[in-house]
């Protein structure tokens, strides 16, 4: 099961769109790439140091541009030797007015000492438990992000590196910003790997695969995004509206709520995939729609102008207001138009079997169990069905009871026997079905056909009732009565 709750203001959407236009989409791989690129950039720009002081348990290197590398938990494997290696618990790279990059774990470095060149160092990788990248660009500068301001991001896990290639598991990514973005976090189980040089040179990206457990973002104006579940992700996964449009993310009984401004510049499509899902839509107008896929789904309309496709299964739309607040009309291409008479807009419904309003339940599945139950009532008893009885038999048929079984129950009822009689001849039964179900006298060919199959016991009276009920003639006649849906009282 996946739970999604998105509530975004117009300001939040504008900021997100502007940031995407300037910097591109934030894929899961790009989240990891930013740490690797910062490390590569520091190494490329700071090959020669100005001063070095390695006095365990700390160490410091300074560079001509004011940059600094600081080690803590420093330990030399062979103290006093001209060459060897050392480990550190942390390494912090700092570039003034640029960024701060902090590695935590068990980090390994090699060194050699010569009279001519002093100490030469090399990165030998090690084990990394966390990396934090903090930007420190001056406001208004070329590197300053005018939308987010400066940001701080951290990745946590268990990574192994040889100094160039890295791989391992990541369990969490966290971020915050000076402006707009209050917090952002991802948890789950991700396997990552890559070549730091290729990533730093923009010729490759981090390879990512795994399962997301949570994704949460909070914005300064109260807007928020929350995703909880077990979503299979790759490096190309983007945590914006495209998460909603990937039905593969929603294979259980999911709960998806989307609240947006009244209008959108681009389409948002919720594809809830397999399972019995609940989808709530508010705002977005005609740009916010849902395709519910397989399952018995429920779509709640917080307002109108949405397109709802229930897909396969028994699907229900819920809208606020009473029956008198809406007009329901069948569309020429299939489905229905639900129009608010108060001027609130209209929704197009396709693949939707039921509509629930404040004071009424409407069956829209004229070709499904709802319509079959209604027509069977009319054919059996020559009357419109009572609402409660109709609701009961609709429920039974929704649960798998065949129409002919319902016809058998109807044919055995006291009302049926009172209307048709208990000892009718086959000839009288044929005439009664034509008069009560089709409201006309039988044509000669039809009369002879039904009399023959009854005489030869090829059908029972209940079989014949079901066939008359679903005949093209009766369906056409009843379309004028139930073609725009009909009310019933749900059972249970």
Tens digit of pLDDT at every position of the chain (492 positions): 999 999 999 999 999 999 999 988 889 999 999 999 999 999 999 988 999 998 899 999 999 999 999 999 999 888 878 888 999 999 999 999 999 999 999 999 998 988 877 888 889 999 999 999 999 999 989 999 999 999 999 999 999 999 999 999 999 999 999 999 999 999 999 999 999 999 999 999 999 999 999 999 999 999 999 999 999 999 999 888 888 999 988 999 999 999 999 989 999 999 999 999 999 999 999 999 999 999 999 999 999 999 999 999 999 999 999 999 999 999 998 999 999 999 889 999 999 999 999 999 999 999 999 999 999 999 999 999 999 999 999 999 999 999 999 999 999 999 999 998 888 899 999 999 999 999 999 999 999 999 999 999 999 999 999 999 999 999 999 999 999 999 999 998
CA-to-CA distance for 172 and 191, rounded, in angstroms?
Answer: 12
Where would I find the beta strands (DSSP E) of 96-236?
99-114, 118-135, 151-161, 165-177, 181-195, 207-219, 224-234
CA-to-CA distance for 32 and 39, rounded, in angstroms?
Answer: 12
Report helix, strand or coil for 187: strand
Q: What is the pLDDT of residue 25?
A: 85
Please give the radius of gyration of the chain, using alpha carbons only, rounded to the nearest integer.
35
CA-to-CA distance for 379 and 475, rounded, in angstroms?
Answer: 11
CA-to-CA distance for 73 and 78, rounded, in angstroms?
Answer: 16
Q: What is the CATH number of domain 369-488?
A: 1.10.3130
Report the Cα 96 to chain-centroid distance in Å: 42
Q: What is the pLDDT of residue 438?
A: 95
Q: What is the pLDDT of residue 18?
A: 93
Q: What is the pLDDT of residue 451?
A: 97
* CATH 1.10.3130 domain residues, the chain: 369-488
Q: What is the pLDDT of residue 177?
A: 97
């Amino acid at each position: 099961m996946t739970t999604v709750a998105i509530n975004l203001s117009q300001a939040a959407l504008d900021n997100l769109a502007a940031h995407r236009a300037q910097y591109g989409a934030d894929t899961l791989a790009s989240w990891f790439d930013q740490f690797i690129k910062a490390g590569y950039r520091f190494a490329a720009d700071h090959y020669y140091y100005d001063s070095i002081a390695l006095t365990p348990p700390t160490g410091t290197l300074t560079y001509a541009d004011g940059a600094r590398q600081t080690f803590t938990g420093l330990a030399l494997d062979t103290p006093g030797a001209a060459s060897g290696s050392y480990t550190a618990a942390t390494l912090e790279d700092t570039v003034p007015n640029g960024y701060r990059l902090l590695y935590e774990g068990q980090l390994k470095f090699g060194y050699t000492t010569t009279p001519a060149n002093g100490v030469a160092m090399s990165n030998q990788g090690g084990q990394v438990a966390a990396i934090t990248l903090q930007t420190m660009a001056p406001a208004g500068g070329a590197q300053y992000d005018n939308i987010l301001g400066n940001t701080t991001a951290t990745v946590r896990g268990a990574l192994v590196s040889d100094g160039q290639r890295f791989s391992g598991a990541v369990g969490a990514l966290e971020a915050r910003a000076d402006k707009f973005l209050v917090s952002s976090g991802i948890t789950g189980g991700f396997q990552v790997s890559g070549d730091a040089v290729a990533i730093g040179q923009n010729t490759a990206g981090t390879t990512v695969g795994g399962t997301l457990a949570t994704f949460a973002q909070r914005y300064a104006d109260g807007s928020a995004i929350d995703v909880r579940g077990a979503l299979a992700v790759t490096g190309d996964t983007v945590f914006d509206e495209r998460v909603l449009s990937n039905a593969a993310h929603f294979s259980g009984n999911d709960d998806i709520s989307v609240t947006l401004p009244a209008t959108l510049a681009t389409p948002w499509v919720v594809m809830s995939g397999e399972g019995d899902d609940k989808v709530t839509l508010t705002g977005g107008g005609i740009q916010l729609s849902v395709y519910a896929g397989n399952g018995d789904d429920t779509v709640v309309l917080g307002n109108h102008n949405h397109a709802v496709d229930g897909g396969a299964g028994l699907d229900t739309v819920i809208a606020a207001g009473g029956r008198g607040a809406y007009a329901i009309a069948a569309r020429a291409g299939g489905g229905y138009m639900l129009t608010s008479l108060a001027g609130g807009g209209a929704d197009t419904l396709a693949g939707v079997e039921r509509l629930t309003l404040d004071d009424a339940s409407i069956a829209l599945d004229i070709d499904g169990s709802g319509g079959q139950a209604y027509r069977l009532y009319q054919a059996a008893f020559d009357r419109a069905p009572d609402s409660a009885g109709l609701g009961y038999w609709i429920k039974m048929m929704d649960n798998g009871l065949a129409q002919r079984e319902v016809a058998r129950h109807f044919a055995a009822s006291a009302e049926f026997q009172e209307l048709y009689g208990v000892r009718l001849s086959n000839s009288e039964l044929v005439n009664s079905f034509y008069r009560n179900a089709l409201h006309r006298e039988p044509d000669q060919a039809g009369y002879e056909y039904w009399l023959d199959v009854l005489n030869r016991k090829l059908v029972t009276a209940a079989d014949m009732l079901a066939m008359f009920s679903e005949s093209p003639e009766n369906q056409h006649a009843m379309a004028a009565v139930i073609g725009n849906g009909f009310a019933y009282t749900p059972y249970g």
